[in-house]
Structure 1
Amino acid sequence: MSFETATLESLCELVVDCPHSTPKWTDEGIIVLRNQNIKSGVLDLSSPSFTNEDDYLKRIKRAVPKAGDIVFTREAPMGEVCMVPEGLKCCLGQRQVLLRPKSDVNGRYLFWALQSPYVQQQISWNEGTGSTVSNVRIPVLKALNIPRIDNEDMIAKSLSDIASKMMLNVKTNQTLEEMAQAIFKSWFVDFDPVKAKMNGEQPEGLDAATASLFPEKLVESELGLIPEGWEPKQLKDVLELAYGKALKKADRVAGDVPVYGSGGLTGYHNQSLIEGPGIIVGRKGTVGSVYWEPKAFYPIDTVFYVKPKTGYSLKYCHLVLQNLGLKDMNTDAAVPGLNRNNAYRLDVITPSEPVLKKFEGVMQSFQSKVDANNAQNASLESLRDTLLPKLLSGELLLTNSSEVTNV
């Protein structure tokens, strides 16, 4: 079915290229949007990058990103988009363009249109040379033909409602992870249930059966006071830090497999090295950063991936690593690095088997909810990807916000 189009430039108030320079990276400060944070229309700032105020001011001279702006990636990867959310102070990284829709253009519709197969094909194909391209030049970007059809507001709302539900599931999973970290710290770092019992109190948040699994007192050990019957061990007794495998960017093939390097998620590949879920620990560059990846992934040689020892679950190992202060263990002068043998000598107080089994049962309950949310998101993603091209081509028409009609 035919439809009208308009150039991207004609729909935007601003089309602003990023500064062609690398910002000064800092441990905290103002967020720099990086291409690795943008995937399938989602801005993921779980592993943010920062710069200082001076570099931020340099990078916003052409335009200050504001809520509703669209960030477009010109290469590595090419053609990904996200919207700047409310309340985020940020600047562009490299290989990005800031798009600001005109006031009479529905920005969310434009956001979805840029992800449609019709526009993505224009992005990936250079008609002048008849070949695929690896980056998008600004004149080509401005000349992209964007579908203009009826019910753009309704289409934008319908697709955005699906995205909102997916985001709610993601945030729920993040809350479950925070709860898991809080329980781990309370049980295995602060020993709150044991201290409560020593004071003749019922441990907060525990039923009587669970509380009975914890010792009645703390006893002296080479690590100080620990719950009676628990053991001081070293990290090497709990898990193995295995080396990743080299994979040059030039050798990567487009796919959906996350690739982890020194800075966390560095891109995607079409083959995995490790079945998910898994844990990645920064070895070079970003020392001691700990990442959880639910899907199959590829750890390159600047990171470790984790193999739990017998008797310890992957989730328990994940939480142990988050509480060991690995980021403070840089041992290399020139390039920051984590020495595996030094990490192996770190102390870990391991609980009794009944407490560990109870903890893993609680974690499995959390994980079941996470898995259910991830499964629903996979279904929603499939629905979104099915509706998107058909709605934007006019093959399907929305009769109201929840119904579609074949044309």
Structure 2
Amino acid sequence: MSFNRMLTIGDIAKVFDGPHATPKKIESGPYFLSISSLENGKLDLSKSAHLSDVDFAKWTRRVTPEAGDILFSYETRLGEVAMMPAGITACLGRRMGLLRPDRTKILPEYLLYAYQSNAFQEIIRAKTIHGATVDRIALKELPSFPIQVPPLPEQQKIVDILKGYDRKLVLNLETNQTLEQMAQAIFKSWFVDFGPVKAKMNGEQPEGMDAAIASLFPEKLVESELGLIPEGWKIQTIKSLSEKISKGTTPSKKDLASATDEPSIRFIKVKDINGQGEILRGKLETIPDSIHTTKLKRSILEKEDILFSIAGTIGRVAIVDQDLDNVNTNQAVAFIRLKNKQTYLPLVYMAMRENRLQQKAISSIVQGVQANLSLANVGDMEVLLPPEDILNLWNKQYSSILQMIKNNFAQSRQLASLRDTLLPKLLSGEIELSKIEALNE
């Protein structure tokens, strides 16, 4: 049986549309799904609102999402897709469509992978209608979009292979979450709750510390503009610790159109920074080097710059890795270049992710067309600096954790790249399934 069987979306699934309005949002109840919840083939329900049971009945007249349905965006964020999980009560959000696979012809998991394949994403790009305000695909044309569909047994083998990669990616994510929780627990104990100091004030041995480390912490809290802090510790603004605080710029359409060289410099936006502090390489846009080194030269990033989102989604934080040295960014992202990166980077990075500075950023937001934070607000953020011996100890502990997190991120990028390279070859039958199955085992 041939792998190269081309069918259409209409041959293997029914297409449904979501509502064209937004109901009143409430604190709990059925989910009103959002296209922002579609991220890298997964559904992130934390980005979706809730609606009442009465509104749910109204908004599901066309269709009620079921487990195994494929959710997708047909306006903005084109190409994003996710599978509807089991046990969730929800309705489609605005600009969201749904494919209900005919399971006698196609497995839902296979349809999800096939939708994400380069071949189908190219079809989406070719069929995109570029409007004045948003890009979209016409739902009435979607059933005619071609898609590669091998027989069901081969679909299952392909799904099993690709899910193996996804399981490892999930494991890496869970490992990083555990490492992050460890780092946050240490940071909160030392720099927020002052646990070691308070223990010594009560005549107790600080939990989890030997006598040598405990001796580094003072036995007294003193008043400061931030409230009680350990004796001998200092408060410094991020500006005072920085060589440069700036933000990016979006190149004009005119400049882009007049550039004679091809886009080659990666360009970071807020959407490319996730909540775990990773810069997502897979979908970074690019700009011409001629613009990067002239119009946008003030925002050329260097390795170990700290990024902080100041517009739209406020407070995303990341560190520029070695492989992203000499990239650029837009005006929604501020960057902080510390004077002494080796000494202050681990502390400042973690402090900017911690609740106190995140809340200070939120309280400083200026509401306009888009919520934004000024560079002055970023520079005025205050960091609590311990004496050098405690700072060195923190740097040593956190740097090792941070390196493990970065290694897992890097491995996940490699696995995702390998999976995405395999995907079109598996779908087309270019690679023998038996060989891949044996290799995975």
TM-score higher than 0.5: yes
Deviation at 1:224, TM superposition (A): 3.8
CA shift in 2, pair 1:278/1:345, >3 Å: closer
The correspondence for 2:184, drawn from 181, 185, 189, is 181
The match for 1:125 is 126
CA shift in 2, pair 1:6/1:305, >3 Å: same
The match for 2:310 is 283
The number of residues matched between the two structures is 396
Deviates more, 1:260-269 or 1:303-312: 260-269
The match for 2:229 is 226
Deviation at 1:158, TM superposition (A): 0.9
The match for 1:318 is 349
CA shift in 2, pair 1:111/1:386, >3 Å: same
Counterpart of 1:371 in structure 2: which amino acid? K
CA shift in 2, pair 1:26/1:175, >3 Å: farther
TM-score (norm 1): 0.80
Deviation at 1:199, TM superposition (A): 2.4
The match for 2:409 is 374
Question: Which SS does the other structure have where 2:16 is aligned?
Answer: strand
Q: Deviations over 1:303-337 (max 9, x none)?
A: 42222343653342232223222244236465544
Does residue 307 (structure 1) correspond to residue 350 (structure 2)? The answer is no
Contact 2:33 2:49 in 1 (8 A): no
Does residue 243 (structure 1) correspond to residue 247 (structure 2)? The answer is yes
Deviates more, 1:348-357 or 1:194-203: 194-203
Report the Cα distance in structure 1 between the residues aligned to 2:264 and 2:432, rounded to whole angstroms: 33
Does residue 144 (structure 1) correspond to residue 145 (structure 2)? The answer is yes
Contact 1:108 1:160 in 2 (8 A): no
Counterpart of 2:83 in structure 1: which amino acid? M
Deviation at 1:191, TM superposition (A): 0.4
The match for 2:208 is 205
Does residue 63 (structure 1) correspond to residue 58 (structure 2)? The answer is no
The match for 1:131 is none
Deviation at 1:108, TM superposition (A): 0.7
Contact 2:196 2:206 in 1 (8 A): yes
Question: Which SS does the other structure have where 1:233 is aligned?
Answer: strand
Report the Cα distance in structure 2 between the residues aligned to 1:330 and 1:24, rounded to whole angstroms: 28
Q: Deviations over 1:62-103 (max 9, x none)?
A: 333344322223354433322234555655454432222234
The match for 2:195 is 192
CA shift in 2, pair 1:247/1:89, >3 Å: farther
Does residue 259 (structure 1) correspond to residue 269 (structure 2)? The answer is yes
Question: Which SS does the other structure have where 2:161 is aligned?
Answer: helix
CA shift in 2, pair 1:35/1:233, >3 Å: same
Contact 1:231 1:351 in 2 (8 A): yes
Deviation at 1:230, TM superposition (A): 0.9
Report the Cα distance in structure 1 between the residues aligned to 2:303 and 2:90, rounded to whole angstroms: 32
TM-score (norm 2): 0.74
Does residue 6 (structure 1) correspond to residue 7 (structure 2)? The answer is yes
Q: Which runs of 5+ in 2 are unaligned?
A: 129-134, 258-262, 293-299
Q: Which runs of 5+ in 1 are unaligned?
A: 128-133
Contact 1:56 1:91 in 2 (8 A): no
Deviation at 1:343, TM superposition (A): 5.0
Report the Cα distance in structure 1 between the residues aligned to 2:338 and 2:89, rounded to whole angstroms: 39
Contact 1:257 1:270 in 2 (8 A): yes
Deviation at 1:49, TM superposition (A): 3.5
The structure whose residues are more often helix, as a share, is 2
Question: Which SS does the other structure have where 1:313 is aligned?
Answer: helix
The correspondence for 1:274, drawn from 277, 301, 306, is 301
Does residue 72 (structure 1) correspond to residue 72 (structure 2)? The answer is yes
Deviation at 1:285, TM superposition (A): 4.6
Counterpart of 2:249 in structure 1: which amino acid? K
CA shift in 2, pair 1:91/1:178, >3 Å: farther
Does residue 383 (structure 1) correspond to residue 418 (structure 2)? The answer is yes
Alignment RMSD (CA, Å): 4.0
CA shift in 2, pair 1:32/1:308, >3 Å: farther
The structure whose residues are more often strand, as a share, is 1
Report the Cα distance in structure 2 between the residues aligned to 1:277 and 1:142, rounded to whole angstroms: 47
Counterpart of 1:140 in structure 2: which amino acid? E
Q: Deviations over 1:3-41 (max 9, x none)?
A: 3233222322x4222334467789999766555554543
CA shift in 2, pair 1:52/1:293, >3 Å: farther
Report the Cα distance in structure 2 between the residues aligned to 1:403 and 1:299, rounded to whole angstroms: 43
CA shift in 2, pair 1:209/1:34, >3 Å: farther
Deviation at 1:382, TM superposition (A): 2.9
The match for 2:49 is 51
